[in-house]
A and B are shown apart, each in its own frame.
Chain A
Amino acid sequence: MILNNEQNKSNIILRVKNLSFYYGAFQALKNISLDIEANKVTAIIGPSGCGKSTLLRCFNRMNDLFSKSKLEGQIIFDDLDIYSQSIDPVLIRSKIGMVFQKPNPFPKSIYDNVAFGLRINGFAGNYDEEIERALIQSALWDEVKDRLKDNAYSLSGGQQQRLCIARALAIRPDVILLDEPTSALDPIGTVKIEDLVNVLKNDYTIIIVTHNMQQAARVSDKTAFLLSGEDRCGILIEYDYTKNIFSNPKMKETEDYITGRFS
């Protein structure tokens, strides 16, 4: 019955509370609240320009890099308000990793790409072991184990994206943010990434932004649907288990969007 107790414990790893986000005078997100469950895949879907990626970038404070951005509300990571004054975004980013839309390996060897985060964070253990673990976890090891010294750009697009996932996994984050990770890949590369997401959720919490609804339906446990309301400002329309969103949406906007009646 220990198992049951474990399950009853709160499994929320990230809480978004009344989050609003501004680029200068433009409000990109309005009053968004949602809870992200640990070891689940949460998809964020919605039409272009609704603020999906902006919301995703709030989780690891990547939006701090834009000088005129402003955030209201809170994001609680475990017990930690990641936007409180005392928190250094650099630490947040080493616990909440990110993979981008286009594969962006560094112009270095495969090995050095995976080692990059370890070096930045001053890892003092066995690099070879950690790099092998990250590459195995990202399902790339068998394809690259004999050519770790090759330049990362000698890999195919899909392999490069899995290398970027390995690079993020190497520093052992708790959460991985995927920002439309397959939009630059062919169907085979896409399937491999989706399979990978299904495996990775055993060890990590995954939040994935996608404009491909089938993908959200295939890989995610929960889905958040965003829409830009008045003034092109993104609002959260519906957040529920993926099967409910796609089979029995509560909101008319959600139904319109997933059935393609939305233009």
Chain B
Amino acid sequence: MSIDFKLNQNNLSRRKFIGIIFLAFCLLGVLVAMMGLISLLIQVILQGYEWVTPNLIFNYPSRHPEQAGLWAALIGTLYMMGLTALITVPTGVGAAIYLEEYAPKNWITSFIEINTSNLAGVPSIVYGLLGLSIFVYFLKLERSILAGSLTMSLLILPVLILASREAIKAVPRAHREAAFALGGDKWQVVKMAVLPNAFPGILTGVILALSRAIGEAAPMVAITALVYITFIPVTPMDRFTVMPIQIFNWISRPQDDFRGLAAGGIIVLLILLLSMNSVAVILRNKFQKRSEE
């Protein structure tokens, strides 16, 4: 007896061909994205590596490119990010827990849900102007770090809430039920069964949100409007500047040296961003491993 493969064979080569075309499309997509990123990185590094010196990091801004640095902007960025995290993480995670676990399923809740998603897509300059009118003028916080952090918090809250909600939603129902069946009340179930499980996902949301905040220049243009700062902010009410604004300022100068300086600043910003992310990724993996073994 012989088996007839003929029909299947014809079909098979066609299916394989379609599969290859699909693979080619996917590879093309990866290639385009990677080319863009890599050429950008190469250009920045070539242009700026000479400028990454202790001067760049520890000096205040100056008219002379060889003496100019972004010490004030670096500290301003770190200060603002810290304050933003302090404001955003409790409120964002709290909002996510409320919406997922406690909120009644009615039209008010769905209205809030739809708006949270929409707010995540609003252009950042709009948040800058909102912050300017509410925090700077109305609440009279002046152009302070506090006003900047509050504005940045508004900007990244929707991102964090969405990510945290997804993480909470992904906690298996079986774990909730097990905790309830052992006589847990709502808060104990959330605290002991849901949050530990959702923690890696929430941390990812925090990373994403803070990464977005660290590179944003537009809202800060509206809030600080300052570049030439020759002091380090101490209290949250001090005036400040951040790295993207300093870099933006340098790029718009006519002298070539300042453009090199800007590239150097971008490298420092990237290093800051990457180290922040890797700390968070390491933390997340540690917790994930613990919960998936």
**Cβ-defined contact, B182 with A171, below 8 A:** yes
Complex interface: chain B residues within 8 A of A119 (CB): 192
Is B6 an interface residue, CB under 8 A from the partner?
Answer: no
Q: Tell whether, in the assembled complex, residue A168 and residue B182 are in contact, meaning their CB atoms are under 8 Å apart.
A: yes
Interface size class on chain A is 20 to 34
Q: Are B182 and A116 in contact (CB under 8 A)?
A: yes
Q: Does A181 contact B (CB under 8 A)?
A: no
Tell me the nearest residue of chain A to B178, going by C-beta.
A104
Q: Mark A149-169, 1 if CB is under 8 A from B, else 0.
A: 001011000000000100110
Instruction: Give CA–CA (A108, B185) in the complex, Å.
Output: 20
Contacts of A120 in B (CB 8 A): 179, 182-184, 188, 192
- Interface 9-residue window, one of A2-10, A87-95, A243-251: A87-95
B174 lies within 8 A of chain A by Cβ: yes
Of the candidate stretches A14-22, A59-67, A75-83, A202-210, the one touching chain B is: A59-67
Given contacts A100-B174, A116-B192, contact A154 B181 (CB under 8 A): no
Min Cβ gap B169→A in Å is: 16
Interface size on B, residues (CB 8 A): 22
Q: List the count of A-B residue pairs having beta carbons below 8 Å apart.
A: 68
Q: How far is the CB of A191 from chain B (nearest CB, A)?
A: 24
Give chain B nearest CB distance to A45 CB in angstroms.
22
Residues of A near B172 (CB, < 8 A) are: 104
How would residues 263 to 293 of chain B score, 1 for a CB under 8 Å from any chain A CB and 0 otherwise? 0000000000000000000000000001111
Say whether A121 faces chain B, with CB atoms less than 8 Å apart: yes
Q: What distance in Å separates the Cβ of A177 from its nearest Cβ neighbour in chain B? A: 8
Q: How far, in whole Å, are A4 and B51 apart by their CA atoms in the complex?
A: 96
Chain B residues whose CB sits within 8 angstroms of the CB of A98 once the complex forms: 181
* A91 x B197 contact (CB < 8 A): no
Most buried by B among A94, A104, A117, A164: A104
Nearest 3 pairs between A and B by C-beta? A94-B183, A104-B174, A117-B182
Known contacts A104-B172, A106-B175; can you find 5 more A-B pairs with CB under 8 A? A62-B180, A65-B177, A100-B174, A100-B177, A107-B291
- Where the two chains meet, the residues of A that have a C-beta atom closer than 8 Å to any C-beta of B are 60, 62, 65, 67, 90-91, 93-94, 97-98, 100, 102, 104-108, 116-117, 119-121, 151, 153-154, 164, 167-168, 171
- Chain B interface residues toward A at CB < 8 A: 105, 172, 174-175, 177-185, 188, 192-193, 196-197, 290-293
